[in-house]
Amino acid sequence: MLRRGHGLINTSKPCPAALLYRRHTIPGLRLGLRLYSSDTEPPHNVAILGGGITGLGSAYYLTKELPNVRVTIYEASDRIGGWLSSKRVPVKDGTILFEAGPRTLRPNGNGVLSARLLQELDLAKDAIFAQRTSPAARNRYVYYPDHLVRMPHPSVGIAENLWSLFTEPVFSGTPWGIVSEFFTPARDPSVDDESVGDFYSRRIGRNAVDRLMSGVLHGIYAGDAWQLSAKSLFPAQWRDEAELGGVVAGMIKSQTDGRRVTRHEREFLREMKKYEWDPLLMATLKDNTVFTLKDGLQGLVDGLARHLVGKGNVEFKTSSPVASVKLARAGIDVTAQGSEQSENYRHVISALSPSHLNQVAKHPHSESTAAHLVPTIPSVTVMTVNLYYRTPDLHPPGFGYLIPQATPFENNPERALGVVFDTAYSPSPKDLDFANWQITDTQQLQQAREQGQLINVNDFAWYNMPNRPNTQDDVKERGTKMTVMLGGHWWSEWPAFPDEQEGLALAKSVLQRHLNITEEPEAYQVNVQKDCIPQYTVGHEDRLKKAHNKLWSEYKGRLRVAGNWMSGVGVNDCLRSAWDVVRSIRDGTDGTGLEQVGTSEYVRLKARRPGEGVKEVERDTTRQPGQAGLMMEMLWTDPQTMPGRGPSKRGVGLQFGPDVTKRFCEKNGLEAVIRSHEVRMEGYETDDMNRMYGFEGECKAKYNERVFKLFSESFSALPLATLIGDKYLTLHHG
Ligand SMILES: C=Cc1c2[nH]c(c1C)Cc1[nH]c(c(CCC(=O)O)c1C)Cc1[nH]c(c(C)c1CCC(=O)O)Cc1[nH]c(c(C)c1C=C)C2
């Protein structure tokens, strides 16, 4: 039986726009294919090439989805984890943690997978969550042309945001560009892809690219806005222009009709929705933008490794670079370097970079690029320089700053990409100090935790209360910790990279010029991450489609690829590609790991109208709201004058400050929340209540018995919460 999905993807230049995303299957190629079947083959064994986060994630999902599987991980170096690498270094009064690579994870989008790992690997107790209200979430800066400019944020107020928008050169022309984008004609349909720079300068204006967007692209891809692909990096906007005339039109449509996603994505979202979260972790994640771990993201690697070793069916082969992978009569043969003998596996998941994969999958006698299994995907090298200074608060409060491409050379001769204020992501001894907490009653904190509530005693959501929060730096008085990011596309043409001392000198020089820091760092670490970020340059999607076709025709679904070179360069994206590839193996779906590239099957998610979350709350038919859940919270939560959240005086629910109400209203598009003043011990409105408030008499006097009956029946049927005109949320509160 032929199954969906293993058809070859059309990579030829499209003629009419309608053909753009169509896949072509070539029936002839399918004839004679022996598709694997789980009933007839020996127990499932899978080799994973590469022990970075993608490889570890793949092993993790394999052992979860196919419990009887045997997994072998081949890793060339003597350590696993790849670019994720955290080191504790000594300073005068203790130790601090430096991250060489990624340092924080977002729990949204694909990040739901890393958030799930917190729960499944029991890592939430080691996590540090940065609140939405924390400086790290609210203060983001761009360095242009010679000073830091804070990006607009609702928390600073309309006046300040507008002032900045109309006076700072970094925004010059952008507000008007966004307004006029609506009226800008769509691109010529024959254009199959273009750079992000070309796309956005056509739609919004060149300044928006050079002064803003290029900075954001530095922060994610360390890449060049004029080379990265608009179609691959901004697929929704790229399609919106073609189909709706523009990016703003697309945003409006998403608001009114719902966000557009691929069918595959919708399935993923549905599956994620079904997940059973620990209520406290859920509450924590909702209020946070990013999280990290007390021992850095290395903690995630260690957690995965511990879990996999404990499983007993996963073998780690470190210091074992792979020499070749070859399709065999049954399965696929993998030979490690220096080994005479190959091992046979039913499937191989390659978590290697494309160039590395080409080396191990190449035909022994062919050197030509045409013989490459996957096309070359360029990548950039990033140098991260971690610095620790004794003096605290050497930077303004916030995430850090990005340096856009238009920053004049004399203000950035080192060609830095940005600076991360690591201090903002982890509690300091000051935050640990009881005296500075908003709530100090540990008994209350303990009780609240037991009831699945999160209480913010400061900027870091406190998952493991009443215990002290986690912190990365174990020092008496914390100084300032920062990371200077250098390299990326700026270094692509450089004949050689700076060495450690040169890197340190470059980083210090950046900080002296931009932040006036002249002090010598007490500790530092220079890390060169060679070819660490793949560049999705113009034509990326087409290259991936070609790779899919070649992989399919040469390996018939036995060799599948995952990693950061296909549809997202972050840790979360790596986990997602691992998840997808394992699912397709589990389900026996034919594929290569690239079968979703350029899919044209889009659907719209249901639009979330203002306050819809509230409407979705089902009425509790048992007439008892219980001790947990949203119904309970709506019933028993009370306002408090202090900002943030606090334990409820009632012993159930919690208290919330005016900032929480404001955020809730903003998020749900509400004008106000109206709460009744009286708590009814019975918990629900009853006919008695109508009588008590004199409604019965008034109604009968003004109208008649029938009208009263009708109203009291309606009241009894009213939900505890209702929306009036989509603007006012009324809560009976009793
Ligand atoms: C270490 C260098 C990295 C640079 N880009 C990435 C890494 C690991 C990958 C990356 N960075 C970000 C994303 C977006 C989504 C996400 O997964 O968080 C990705 C895929 C955003 C980001 N960039 C920086 C930080 C601290 C974050 C995440 C946290 C946040 O948004 O609050 C800083 C940063 N990274 C790089 C540069 C040049 C840079 C400069 C300040 C390159």
The Cβ-side half-sphere exposure at 464, using a 13 Å CA radius, reads 17
Rounded Cα distance between 444 and 452, Å, is 12
Distance between Cα 384 and ligand 1 center (Å): 12
Distance 599 CA to ligand 1 centre (A): 27
> ipTM of the predicted structure?
0.96
Greatest mean pLDDT among 10-19, 192-201, 321-330, 707-716: 192-201
Tell whether ligand 1 has an atom less than 6 A from the beta carbon of residue 100: no
Phi/psi region, residue 683 (left: phi>0; alpha: psi -120 to 50; beta: rest), is left
Cβ–ligand 1 distance for 104 under 6 Å, the answer yes
Structure tokens at 407: 């920053």
The predicted pLDDT at position 448 comes to: 80
Separation CA 462–CA 291 (nearest Å): 12
User: Does ligand 1 have an atom closer than 6 angstroms to the CB of 220?
Assistant: yes
Rounded CA-CA distance 454/460 in Å is 11
104 Cα: distance to centroid of ligand 1 (angstroms): 8
Question: Does the beta carbon of 101 lie inside 6 Å of ligand 1?
Answer: yes
418 lines ligand 1 (CB under 6 A): yes
CA distances to 27, 67, 357, 386, 527 from 500, rounded to whole Å, are 56, 45, 30, 12, 8
Ligand 1 centre distance from Cα of residue 348 (Å): 30
Residue 417 alpha carbon, nearest atom of ligand 1: 38
Q: Which residues are 345's β-sheet partners? A: 332
- Per-residue pLDDT tens over the stretch 446-485: 888 887 777 778 888 778 877 888 999 999 999 999 999 9
Any atom of ligand 1 within 6 Å of the Cβ of 218: yes
pLDDT of residue 682: 45
Confidence band for 9, pLDDT divided at 50, 70 and 90: low
The helix/strand count (H/E) of the chain reads as 27, 29
Task: State if residue 570 touches ligand 1 by the CB under 6 angstroms criterion.
Answer: yes
- Residue closest by Cα to atom 35 of ligand 1: 219
Model confidence at 614: pLDDT above 60: no
Does residue 404 sit within a domain? Answer: no
Would you place residue 67 in the very low, low, confident or very high pLDDT band (cuts 50, 70, 90)?
A: very high
In a domain, residue 159? The reply is no
Residue 394 lies in a domain: no
Q: What are phi and psi of 697, to 5 degrees?
A: -60, -45
Q: So what's the pLDDT on residue 515?
A: 98
Q: Is 572 in the pocket of ligand 1 (CB under 6 A)?
A: yes
CATH code: domain of residue 348: 3.50.50.60
pLDDT per position as a tens digit, 76-134: 999 999 999 999 999 999 999 999 999 999 999 999 999 999 999 999 999 999 988 88
Calculate the CA 559 to chain-centre distance. 27
**Total Cβ atoms within 10 A of residue 558:** 20
Residue with tokens 């309309």: 158
Which atom of ligand 1 is closest in space to residue 218's alpha carbon? 38
Nearest CA residue ID for atom 17, ligand 1: 570
Q: Are 576 and 110 within 8 A, CB to CB?
A: yes
Residue 382, ligand 1, Cβ within 6 A: yes
pLDDT band at 366 (very low <50, low <70, confident <90, very high): low
Residue nearest to atom 14 of ligand 1 (CA): 220
Q: Which two three-digit tokens encode residue 484?
A: 């200077």
Please, what sign has the CA dihedral across residues 229, 235, 238, 242?
Answer: positive
398 lines ligand 1 (CB under 6 A): no
Q: What is the C-alpha separation between 173 and 166, in angstroms, rounded?
A: 9
What spacing in Å lies between the alpha carbon of 550 and ligand 1's midpoint? Answer: 32
DSSP assigned state of 209: I
Tokens of 196: 């992000």
* Ligand 1 atom nearest to 399, measured from its CA: 32
- How far is 194 from 241, CA to CA, in rounded Å? 13
- Name the residue among 55, 4, 63 with its Cα closest to residue 591: 4
DSSP sequence for 538-570: TTHHHHHHHHHHHHHHHHTTSEEE-STTTS--S
Non-local CB neighbours of 159 within 8 Å, separated by 6+ positions: none
- Identity of the residue numbered 380: V
d(CA 570, ligand 1 centre) in Å: 8
Mean pLDDT of the chain: 85
Q: How confident is the model at residue 691 (pLDDT cuts 50, 70, 90)?
A: low
Q: Which residues pair with 348 in a beta bridge?
A: 47, 559
**pLDDT value at position 533?**
98
The pLDDT confidence band at residue 14, using thresholds 50, 70 and 90, is very low
Q: Which atom of ligand 1 is nearest to the CA of 571?
A: 17
| Domain-embedded: residue 441 | no
Helices (H), ranges, 258-353: 263-273, 279-286, 298-311
Query: What tens digit of pLDDT does each residue of 547-566 get?
Result: 999 999 999 999 999 999 99
Q: Residue 465 is which amino acid?
A: M
Question: Does some domain include residue 724?
Answer: yes
Q: In what order do the strands lie in the sheet with 474-475?
A: 86-91, 94-99, 474-475
Say if ligand 1 is within 6 A of residue 219 CB.
yes
Residue 372 domain flag: yes
What is the pLDDT, as a whole number, of residue 600?
A: 74
Can you give the pLDDT at residue 61? 98
pLDDT at 16 over 80: no
Q: HSE on the CB side for 456, CA within 13 Å?
A: 25
pLDDT tens track for 370-403: 578 898 899 999 999 999 999 999 999 999 999 9
Kindly indicate the confidence band of residue 732, based on its pLDDT and cuts at 50, 70 and 90.
Answer: low
- pLDDT tens-digit series, residues 178-221: 999 999 999 999 999 999 999 999 999 999 999 999 999 999 99
- Give this prediction's pTM: 0.81
CA-proximal residue: ligand 1, atom 11 (nearest):
220
* 361: its two tokens: 């999958």
Distance CA 207, CA 240 (A): 22
Mean pLDDT lowest for which of 5-9, 599-603, 724-728? 5-9
And the tokens for 724?
């009036």
590 Cα–ligand 1 center, Å: 34
Tell the burial category of 365 from Cβ atoms under 10 Å away from its Cβ (0-12, 13-18, 19+). Answer: exposed
Question: Atom 21 (ligand 1): residue with closest C-alpha?
Answer: 220
Atom of ligand 1 nearest to the CA of 419: 41
| Ligand 1 center to 393 CA (angstroms) | 22
Residue 626: pLDDT over 50: yes
Asked if residue 31 is part of any domain, the answer here is yes
Per-residue confidence (pLDDT) for residue 687, from 0 to 100 = 52
> CA triplet 330, 334, 337: central angle to 5 degrees?
160
pLDDT band at 631 (very low <50, low <70, confident <90, very high): low
205 lines ligand 1 (CB under 6 A): no
Contact 388, 481 (CB under 8 A): yes
Domain of 567, in residue numbers: 17-82+294-377+537-587
Does 620 score more than 60 pLDDT?
no
Domain assignment of residue 443, yes or no: no
* Tally of structural domains, the chain: 2
Distance 323 CA to ligand 1 centre (A): 33
Final residue before a domain boundary, out of 549, 565, 587: 587
